[in-house]
Amino acid sequence: MALHYDSKGKFYTNYITKDVIPTVIQTVTQLIKGDVYVRPEERLSDEMNGDSQFIAITNASVFDNQGECLYRVEFLTINKEHIIWLSPEENFSVEEVENES
């Protein structure tokens, strides 16, 4: 990694520091679990509202509507227009819903 310092001692690098957020993403046809990266102090919503049309996901598992894992990939991108919802995995839990009929 190459570092460059200015006259005040501030350093610059080609590497951009980002935080990893394990995320659950729902598209029209699949559920995806994987890691999304955001800049420090930012949230998933900041990444979604950014200029890029796509969101990058690493260590992704793609599931069908019945919950069966279709495949796992180290890297994929999703067009933001195909995302119905997403949530940090730590905030996501599946609870059984009882019918009150």
Q: How confident is the model at residue 1 (pLDDT cuts 50, 70, 90)?
A: low
Number of helical (H) and strand (E) elements in the chain, helices listed first: 1, 7
| 44 vs 98, more confident | 44
Single pTM value for the model: 0.74
Mean per-residue pLDDT, 68-89: 95
CATH number of 14-91: 2.30.30.100
- Whether the per-residue pLDDT at 33 is higher than 70: the answer is yes
Tell me the C-alpha distance between 78 and 98, whole Å: 33
Residue 45: its pLDDT value, please? 87
The residues spanned by each domain of the chain are: 14-91
